[in-house]
């Protein structure tokens, strides 16, 4: 690792992380966002890039009709309220998820609602879509685009308010889009979140996915036609729980039918046996190492259908080492997203994954390079 990156990693592991881990989990997250926001206001982007941007940050690929800057993104959930996108861009993420954003301001579930399990390299959260609301989020995005140049695509995750009944949830999603579409650049995408375990009844939408996506996409096309805009690519995030292999194959088929271009697999898990096995006592969605094998299994389930129906898959869940990212890609993912791994390993994890993926791609290219008869091969003595 380059000296500058090693310094950045050491600053996180030995200075910033111990400070954060003395705080309650949500307070630590708020302190991180507050610090990044302050550095952003002081235009310290070059310093952040110096300490954390990998030399492999600009290795673009297309994922679900979106040109990612590189194959490692950060999912929605870290920057819930669209506050520090330029700083994440300076670190060199391939894409930047924001949200989940709901139509009206929402406090979310009572605190405490986020917990660290150090011995399991895990986080548990039950935030419940705490959000500043779509109007405020859109205003922040507009201001950031006016003030900063953001190279990575932004994935805007949107959902429904907790009190909205299932019969009216499509209207909630479309109301959020009315605010968010005007600030969605040509390079960005939107992500439909119906997989959070912390909004009662939300995951039940997968039992009626065809109808939901049909109504949602019809409304989306109506909005873009009225505004004269192009329709952004649409991603869907899926849960790791209570679905079979056949269910996941059907999800891919239905998603493709409604022009979903990529699927993020997966959201957090609430499986009791996983919580018991890892001695996790808090209610909410579990992320990190306990989720890793489960989310990778979902990639295996979806791989063949995704190839058949031309839907890209993004591996999410439990990536805290470069080998975990390679594991996801071998299971069918075209790219990956990291969050909980960043909490425990620091921003240096981004570079370590990018370096391994770059070397892996280079090795694959050498193997695939055709050999022409008559070519002289140099053999070192």
Q: Which residues are known to be catalytic?
A: 196
Answer yes or no: are the C-beta atoms of 56 and 91 closer than 8 Å. Answer: no
What torsion, rounded to 10 degrees, do the Cα atoms 210, 216, 221, 224 define? Answer: -160
Q: What is the DSSP string of 198-253?
A: TSTTGGGGGGGHHHHHHHHHHHHHHHHHHHTPPPPPEEEEE-SSS--HHHHHHHHH
Q: Which of 249, 247, 223, 245 is nearest to 234 (CA)?
A: 223
What CA–CA distance (Å, rounded) separates 322 from 333?
Answer: 14
What torsion, rounded to 10 degrees, do the Cα atoms 245, 251, 257, 263 define? Answer: -110
Answer yes or no: are the C-beta atoms of 313 and 336 closer than 8 Å. Answer: no
Q: Is residue 54 helix, strand or coil?
A: coil
Half-sphere CA count of 240, side-chain side, radius 13 A: 27
């Amino acid at each position: 690792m380059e000296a500058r990156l090693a310094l950045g990693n050491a600053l996180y592991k030995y200075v910033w992380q111990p400070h954060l881990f003395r705080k309650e989990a949500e307070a630590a997250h708020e302190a991180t966002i507050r610090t990044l926001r302050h550095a952003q206001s002081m235009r310290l982007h070059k310093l952040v890039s110096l300490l954390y941007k990998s030399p492999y940050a600009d290795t673009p690929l297309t994922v679900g009709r979106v040109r990612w800057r590189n194959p490692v993104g950060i999912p929605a959930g870290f920057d819930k309220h669209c506050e520090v996108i330029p700083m994440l861009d300076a670190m060199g993420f391939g894409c930047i998820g924001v949200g989940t954003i709901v139509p009206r301001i929402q406090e979310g579930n009572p605190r405490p609602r986020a917990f660290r399990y150090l011995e399991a390299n895990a986080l548990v959260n039950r935030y419940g879509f705490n959000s500043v609301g779509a109007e405020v989020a859109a205003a922040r995005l507009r201001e950031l685009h006016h003030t900063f140049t953001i190279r990575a695509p932004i994935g805007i995750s949107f959902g429904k308010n907790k009190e909205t009944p299932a019969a009216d949830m499509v209207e909630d999603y479309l109301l959020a889009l009315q605010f968010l579409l005007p600030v969605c650049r040509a390079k960005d995408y939107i992500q439909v979140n119906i997989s959070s375990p912390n909004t009662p009844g939300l995951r039940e939408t997968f039992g009626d996915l065809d109808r939901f996506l049909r109504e949602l996409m019809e409304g989306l096309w109506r909005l873009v036609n009225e505004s004269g805009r192009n329709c952004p690519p649409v991603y869907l995030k899926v849960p790791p729980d209570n679905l079979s292999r056949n269910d996941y194959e059907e999800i891919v088929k239905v998603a493709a039918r409604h022009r979903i271009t990529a699927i993020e697999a997966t959201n957090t898990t609430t499986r009791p046996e996983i919580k018991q096995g890892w001695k996790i006592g808090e209610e909410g969605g579990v992320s990190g190492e306990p989720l890793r094998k489960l989310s990778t299994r979902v990639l295996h389930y979806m791989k063949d259908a995704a190839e058949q129906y031309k839907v890209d898959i993004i591996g999410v869940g439990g990536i805290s080492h470069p080998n975990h990212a390679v594991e996801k890609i071998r299971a069918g993912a075209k790219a990956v997203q990291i969050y909980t791994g960043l909490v425990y390993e620091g921003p240096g994890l981004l570079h370590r994954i990018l370096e391994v993926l770059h070397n892996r791609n280079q090795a694959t290219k050498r193997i695939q390079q055709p050999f022409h008869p008559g070519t002289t091969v140099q053999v070192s003595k």
